[in-house]
Structures are given as structure tokens and as C-alpha cells.
Chain A
Amino acid sequence: MRLLVRGGRVIDPASGRDAIGDVFIAEGKFAAADGSADRVIEAKGLVVAPGLIDLAARLREPGYEYKATLESEVEAAVAGGVTSLACMPDTDPPLDEPGLVDMLRRRAKALARVRVYPVGALTVKLQGERLTEMAELAVSGCVAFSQANAPIADTLVLWRALQYAATFGYSVWLRAEDPWLAKGGVAHDGEVATRLGLSAIPPFAETIALGTLLELVRATGTRLHVCRLSSAAAVEMIRAAKKEKLPVSCDVGIHHVHLSELDLGYFDSHCRLEPPLRSRRDREALSRALADGTIDCVVSDHTPVDEDQKQLPFAEAEPGATGLELLLPLVLKWGAERNLPLAKSLARVTVDAARVLGAASGRIEPGAPGDAIVFDPEAPFRVTPEALRSQGKNSPFLGYELAGRVRATIVAGNVVFEQK
């Protein structure tokens, strides 16, 4: 398949290119056009960019097929312009043995639509007690090791896990949250939780845990990716750690860039997220740090939850929001609010995410994997349950009018999604 995407506004965040032109993909890779296309996509008036790379999505397989299936979520991913995604190990059973990872990769490969990068469990059953067989898991295709939202309460186990990962050069992706301070909490420890009478998680649950993680990185040299920052204070710690040249990167969930505790309104369970939405000041700090690069990338933290598990009192509702299809419009909205050029805002979901993932994709240059999207940045889009292809309809943005619709998604030169 030799594909020509013709006459679009080509944006390549890696090189800063932003110009009208053609993009050619042959043998699954970007190449110089040679006039031999089998197929032409007309992109006049549209943006052509690298496919999005989402470092945190839950596909719910294995174990939670009633919430979502690989088919439904892969469809959501490509409709949202996501061509690569890292999936979290918090499945049932968790991704803690090679057989499970193999099966997941085979299933994903059979669908042949999106690149799935499994993130393996760092400890057996995510229980924070025994290390998984990381080398075996890496052989089966795990790109990093994580606990998803499960804690490692025992600091000795945490230290050993980081040491072991460092020995073989594996990246570890962890959230920073003190399990004791977070226990039972469902909201930011601030005015809103006080008014609504919700059990709260103080911001120092994050900074205390982050302090421990950074200290262990100093001791072990492990490559650490800190997932889902939530507070202004944690952003400052990351800024300092980067200045110190620690091997640390981090991400933020797209919801946390846009929403704060105030959006809980009258107990809106769609805003029940992990970590909790914090104050407006925290939100502003996250948004700013994502713009200045202190936060490397932004993720959907896609978590499909069935309606029954959201139609519950706030604290009992299952946490998480669907996000694969909203990632692009919400990144565009954030970029517009911060007056960023498209090349810069898109970098946080393309080339910057690829760097964390260690992938060659996320850029439009000859030889790079031929993953691209064609989208209309202005096309309006009303978020409704019917408009979402994901099995999870759980979004705080239901009813919102957003802009940015994907017209075509291309993975390795194959058109995996198209909408006129």
C-alpha cells in the first residue's frame, strides 16, 4: 500500500514543520513521494499530523469485558486519532505474567488497527509485595512496568523494584500517592470536599510519595515516569528534579488540565477521578507546566466505566472517565487557551509521548512509522453518549461543545478509520 495524503496543512511537532504539503507513506513508513500512490486522500483544508500516542488507556481486557472490549475501545482509539496506546496492567487478572501479555498483543494484532503497548505489572497481582518476572514480561512485549492505581505501601519493596528494573534498564511508570493518606479519599482536601462532606486526599499525599520516589531514583538511577500529576506542589518537585538531571519524566491526565474540584458541582460522579481533581490553582499549574514542558505529555487515562457503576453516590461510584475520543479536541482546546501553536500542543501527544515510550513514531519524517491523522481542527463536536464509540460513556464533558474531528486515521500506511 502506497498512500498519498495530498494538500493538507502538515504539522510535524518533532521538526516544527507547519506548511501545506503532501505526505507519502510506503511499506508502512513515511517516505519521499515518488508519484506511485495506490491511494490518495485529499486533505485540503485539513491538518495532517503524526498519529496520537496515548500513554494511558484501559482497554479492559482481560477480565472486564462487560465494561468494554478490545474491539470497542480500539474503534474509539482510531476514531479519536490515537494510533499508539500504552495499556495499563490493571486488568483482571493483572498483566503480571507473559501469557496474558502475549494474548493481549495477539488479540490487538489481529484487529490490526492500533499499536498496543502493554505496560506490565511491577508486582505480582499489583499487590506491592513480590516482583513480577520483568525480563520475561519484557520479552513478551511489555514496554515498561507500573502499578496503575495500586500502591506499593512497603518502601523496601518499592526500592527493590526500582533497583531491579534499573539493573535491566526498564522504565517504571508510577503514580505518586501515599496509600495511607489517600485511603478512603475520593476528592481533593479543599473547600469543595469540606462543603460536600466527602472524604478527602490532601495534596501532600502526592508530594510525600513523590519525594520518596525521587529519592529512590537518586539512589537507583531508575528511569521513572511519574503518571497523572495532580498538584502544583508536585509540578515544582518535578521541575527541580529535571533541573537536577534525574532520569524523570511525567504526564498529566487531560481532564486534570481542564477541570478542578469545582466541577464536582452537585456530586457529579463523572468527576470522580484518580487522582482527584484539585483546586483551580493546581489546575492552572498543571496546564502551564504542560505548556512549558515540565510535564512531558498528556494522556487520556481512558477508563470506560459502565453506567451502573457511575449511577451511585459519589464516593461509591467507580473512578475514571472515558477519554480516547476526547483527547484530540481537549488538547486543541488546551492549546488554544494557552495560545500555543498547533505544533507545540500536538507535541505533547506525539513526539514527546514517543520519547517516553521509546518509540520511533510520533513524527513525520522519512523512515519513521507511517502513523498519521487527518483532522479538521474547527469541526464542532457535541459530546453525547451516542457520539462516543467507546463502550464507556462516562465523561465529565457530556453535553459540551468541542472542536476537532478526525477525518482519517492511518497506521503503518493503512487507513484504519475514515469519516467524511
Chain B
Amino acid sequence: MLILRDYIISAASSINAGGGNNGDNPTNLGVSDFSLVATTLDTNNAYKFMSGIEGMDRFGTGPVRSAYFMLSSTELQSDFDGLVGSGFISQWNYPTNSSALPSEYGSVFNIRILTSSEAPVARGASANGNDVYYNTVSGKQGLTHINQDGYSMNLIYRDPYYSGMLAQNATLAVKFAQAQALTQDTAVRNLLCTRLSNLGV
């Protein structure tokens, strides 16, 4: 999803968050926004990425629904924390972390949230001039990589002597040809939102 970031925010349709209460457009994220996006993808017969996690007899944990993935900015993490008790389950409250990804922050309803500092943000672009975060939500059949017509992967190595007597430069690289494709536009949505919490930075 990170590789496809600019592609998704340009080419996929969007939903403005309206479940928050900061009075902006889009608003900050409310749990109803997660529900709306998941319902939209469900109605469009999108496939979920992850199966649910059954509840276990462990303190502080709760079951997790089968889910789509959503890529979000790390700057939204405090907003997610603010939804604890309203539907957000932190990753460490999963019954088991065996299927959780390292970048997974938690889940709300049918959406499991991955966070990255490289997730897309349009600075100062909301109706009230605040930052707009693009949370890209995808079903399994929404996106793909295509390895292009027989172009094989090359591992390139040039030893240090190649560049000069001082042997300062060596090259180690991988070269391959790939294209991205939106394979099903009904299975991808950008959930746009602003932020409620002040980052204080």
C-alpha cells in the first residue's frame, strides 16, 4: 500500500469523514466513518484481507473482526487512542498478536489500521485550513502489482575497484520492472479526515 500511495490517493474515490466533531470538512475520524467505509466495501463485495481473531480468556483482550487494511499516518495515532472505548481495539488488546503486522496499531470494526510516517497528508487542505489525512482502505482484489512481460529481476554488483583506485564506491542494487494497477475500483476507498488531537510538535 505504501508503494502505491500516490497512485491510490489520485485514482481511487474518496469518502470525507463526517463522524467527528471538529466542525471541519473532512472531520476528524469517528467510529461511524470506519463503519461507513467497511459497509461500502462489504456492499461492493470486496474481499477482506484478514480473518477474524477469536476471543480468548485473557485479561483486557477482545475478539477482532475479519478486516480490510487501512494505511494511516502516524500523526493520527493519538486520535485512534481517543477512540478506545468507542470501538477501537489497540493491537496489544488482540487475543493473540500472531497475525498482527509490526506496523499495525489496532482495529476498529472491520478495519485493521497500519500506521506509517510516509502515509499521505495534504497539509492545510481542509475546508478550515487544517491538514487532510488520506487513509487508504482496500479490499483484497482492489490493487495489484504486475511484473512486466518477462523482465527478469537483476541483482547488480560492481566491486569497489570499478570506480577508481581508492576503491571508495561499490554498487549493490536490485533492478526489476513492475507496474501497479487498480484492479477493482469498487474495492478501494480513501477515507479523508482531519485531526482532533494537537500534536504539540
A binds B: no
